[in-house]
């Protein structure tokens, strides 16, 4: 049973009985029903001011009239408070319906499949070739991964794109440096680090030897012209970078459906440029071609440089169109740092000016910066934390904690990996995405705070309770779940469908992260206050059922944000 629907029907019938009108249908009432922040205000609340216009009465009068004599078998009582109708569900019925609904729906609990038949393209991680993954990439990678899972959960077809930064004059310089000082085996063994060294050396030496820059330009021209040697080296650089990145993606359990990066659009930009020209959108500006965005308060979008070179936005225009043509998306999301806000506003505006009304379906999912133990990161000043190092350190620290807390645990390495990675991911997804993050070890790995390990530990605790209990054949007595601590667990479970839907609608995985903490805290309180293995079988069955629902929901919610949930830890 879905309480909101039943209550909506009840309200509609009562309005009709009292006022002889039907201003809203039940389906319109359902989204207006709130879950009050405080239990004292009931399990559900309906704000009557939504009716005052149609009924031409003040909200408190409406709520008084509707509350009077309102009854249903699942209701404890109904109160009218200042224009709100507060519904108190009968405690046992509430527990029964919520826990049963959660367990019956299994891993689909909370999804209304509203995305069935729709497609979302997600551009996330989108790393740059010949650069190492640093912790600045953690947010785009993990927010994108979480959104991918959340959209799929709601029935969408998701397409994950790693829009590789694999185009630009720096790659000409890298080849020049490689030809001068590099050798195959060193780069093959050292990976991206070796490529970065070559690039740094190139820039240092080019200061005294300007001819080097010509060499770099020459090699870039050769890449552009499709010269086999240039392409071979360039593609090899790409493969080496991706191999390094793949190790991190594997640790994080992150995947992509496409690695079409910037260079993929080399032959797809001309039609876009022609189209801009044909629509009269291109303007000449000191030899360069721009789209004027002044009327919208933005600097011009630079489409072609005076030397004919294309730019980041030119590639993004081609990419946006390609994605629409290829995937026919209903939504196209770009999970990119807020620093690129202007770029995306320009991009979407140009798409609009080109007459593509699907520009409305494009969205920049922006997020804040990451700093490390109070220090901003800076490549130039050498303050840089690589993601792979961070994850490996986290796994080591988790390993040490396990050794101390659970010396007898089997498979310590696998569990340490799950906890170590999960702690970092959880930390990255804990605050609303637009906020800056400051990473601190003691906050990420604390087993008692609002952390990944705390939630994972609670999940493992539930599993352990269930393992020890074994099968329980008795019918659950839901009156055993009428106490405040049990009811709080039930209420949190009941909130999940709303939380998941909000996370989807706002592209905000942190809502789910926070939910896992609420559920873990509620369960732990229940666990300290209530013994599960009591003699009363009906009571035991009910408490076990609640425990099972929590275990499964914690696992599912963690999965949605990209975090594994070990059964033992």
123 binds ligand ARG (CB under 6 A): yes
Q: Residue 222 CB, nearest distance to ligand ARG (Å)?
A: 23
Q: Residue 131 CB, nearest distance to ligand ARG (Å)?
A: 8
Pairwise CA distance, residues 13 & 10, whole Å: 5
Among 6, 63, 86, 126, binds ligand ARG (CB under 6 A): 126
Nearer to ligand ARG, 336 or 554 (CB): 336
Q: Residue 319 CB, nearest distance to ligand ARG (Å)?
A: 6
Instruction: Spell 280-300 as b/e; 16+ CB within 10 A means b.
Output: ebbeeeeebbbbebeeeeeee
How many binding residues for ligand ARG (CB under 6 A)?
9
Contact criterion met (CB below 8 Å) for 166 and 238: yes
Label each residue of 541-559 as H, E or C.
HHHHHHHHHHHHHHHHHHH
Name which of residues 176 to 215 contact ligand ARG (CB under 6 A). Answer: none
Closest CA to 123 of 161, 176, 92: 161
Closest CA to 60 of 41, 88, 86: 86
Query: x/- contact string, 282-321, with ligand ARG (CB under 6 A)?
Result: ----------------------------------x--x--
Label each residue of 218-258 as H, E or C.
HHHHHHHCCCHHHHHHHHHHHHHHHHHHHHHHHHHCCCCCE
Spatial neighbors of 209 by CB under 8 A, at least 6 apart, are none
Helix (H, G, I), strand (E, B) or coil at 47: strand
Pairwise CA distance, residues 392 & 51, whole Å: 57
Nearer to ligand ARG, 123 or 244 (CB): 123
At what angle are helices 192-208 and 211-224 packed, to 10 degrees?
A: 130
Pairwise CA distance, residues 460 & 568, whole Å: 5
Q: Residue 104 CB, nearest distance to ligand ARG (Å)?
A: 41
Query: x/- contact string, 385-424, with ligand ARG (CB under 6 A)?
Result: ----------------------------------------
Nearer to ligand ARG, 123 or 552 (CB): 123
Largest CA distance in the chain: 90
Q: Residue 347 CB, nearest distance to ligand ARG (Å)?
A: 8
Q: Residue 336 CB, nearest distance to ligand ARG (Å)?
A: 5
Q: Residue 388 CB, nearest distance to ligand ARG (Å)?
A: 17
The full DSSP string for 70-81 is ---TTEEEEEEE
Select the span of 103-111, 120-128, 430-438, 459-467 touching ligand ARG (CB under 6 A). 120-128
Pairwise CA distance, residues 140 & 425, whole Å: 11
Select the span of 122-130, 228-236, 452-460, 476-484 touching ligand ARG (CB under 6 A). 122-130
Nearer to ligand ARG, 123 or 194 (CB): 123
Select the span of 123-131, 209-217, 366-374, 402-410 touching ligand ARG (CB under 6 A). 123-131
Among 9, 93, 119, 128, binds ligand ARG (CB under 6 A): 128
Name which of residues 149 to 178 contact ligand ARG (CB under 6 A). Answer: 163, 165
Terminus-to-terminus CA distance in the chain, angstroms?
36
Nearer to ligand ARG, 43 or 316 (CB): 316
Residues in contact with ligand ARG by CB under 6 A are: 123, 126, 128, 163, 165, 316, 319, 334, 336
């Amino acid at each position: 049973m879905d309480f909101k629907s039943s209550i909506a029907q009840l309200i509609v019938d009562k309005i009709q009985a009292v006022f002889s009108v039907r201003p809203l249908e039940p389906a319109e009432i359902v989204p207006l029903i709130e879950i009050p922040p405080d239990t004292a205000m009931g399990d559900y609340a309906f704000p009557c001011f939504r009716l005052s216009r149609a009924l031409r009465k003040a909200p408190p009068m409406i709520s008084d009239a509707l509350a009077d004599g309102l009854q249903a078998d699942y209701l404890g009582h109904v109160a009218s408070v200042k224009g709100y109708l507060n519904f108190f569900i009968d405690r046992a019925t509430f527990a029964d319906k919520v826990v049963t609904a959660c367990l019956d729906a299994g891993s689909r609990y909370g999804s209304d499949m509203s995305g069935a038949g729709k497609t979302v393209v997600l551009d996330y991680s989108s790393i740059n070739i010949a650069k190492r993954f640093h912790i600045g990439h953690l947010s785009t990678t993990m927010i994108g991964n979480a959104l991918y899972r959340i959209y799929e959960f709601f029935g969408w077809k998701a397409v994950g794109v790693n829009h590789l930064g694999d185009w630009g004059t720096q790659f000409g310089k890298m080849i020049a440096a490689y030809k001068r000082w590099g050798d195959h085996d060193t780069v093959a063994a050292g990976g991206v680090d070796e490529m970065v060294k070559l690039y740094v050396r190139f820039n240092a030496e080019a200061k005294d030897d300007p001819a080097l820059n010509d060499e770099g330009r020459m090699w870039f021209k050769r890449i552009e012209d499709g010269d086999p040697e240039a392409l071979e080296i360039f593609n090899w650089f790409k493969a080496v970078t991706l191999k390094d990145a793949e190790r991190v993606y594997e640790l994080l359990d992150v995947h992509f459906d496409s690695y079409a990066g910037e260079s993929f659009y080399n032959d797809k930009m001309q039609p876009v440029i022609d189209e801009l020209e044909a629509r009269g959108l291109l303007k000449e500006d000191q030899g360069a071609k721009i789209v004027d965005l002044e009327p919208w308060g933005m600097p011009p979008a630079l489409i072609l440089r005076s030397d004919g070179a294309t730019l980041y936005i030119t590639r993004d225009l081609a990419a946006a169109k390609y994605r629409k043509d290829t995937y026919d998306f209903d939504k196209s999301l770009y999970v990119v740092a807020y620093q690129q806000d202007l770029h995306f506003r320009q991009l979407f505006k140009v798409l609009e000016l080109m007459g593509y009304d699907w520009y409305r379906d494009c969205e920049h999912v922006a997020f804040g910066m990451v700093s490390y133990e109070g220090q901003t990161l800076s490549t130039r000043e050498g303050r840089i934390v690589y993601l792979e190092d961070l994850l490996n350190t986290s796994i080591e620290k988790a390993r040490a904690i396990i050794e101390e807390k659970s010396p007898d645990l089997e498979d310590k390495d696998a569990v340490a990996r799950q906890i170590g990675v999960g702690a970092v991911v959880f930390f990255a997804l804990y605050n609303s995405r637009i906020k800056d993050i400051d990473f601190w070890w003691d906050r990420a790995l604390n087993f008692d705070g609002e952390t990944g390990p705390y939630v994972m530990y609670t999940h493992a605790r539930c599993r352990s309770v269930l393992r020890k209990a074994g099968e329980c054949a008795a019918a659950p007595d839901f009156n055993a779940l009428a106490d405040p601590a049990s009811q709080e667990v039930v209420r949190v479970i009941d909130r999940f469908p709303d939380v998941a839907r909000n996370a989807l609608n706002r592209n905000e995985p942190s809502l789910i992260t926070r939910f896992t903490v609420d559920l873990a805290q509620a369960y732990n309180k229940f666990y300290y206050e209530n013994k599960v293995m009591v003699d009363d079988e009906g009571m035991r069955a009910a408490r076990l059922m609640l425990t099972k629902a929590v275990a499964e929901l914690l696992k599912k919610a963690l999965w949605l944000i990209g975090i594994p949930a070990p059964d033992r830890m």
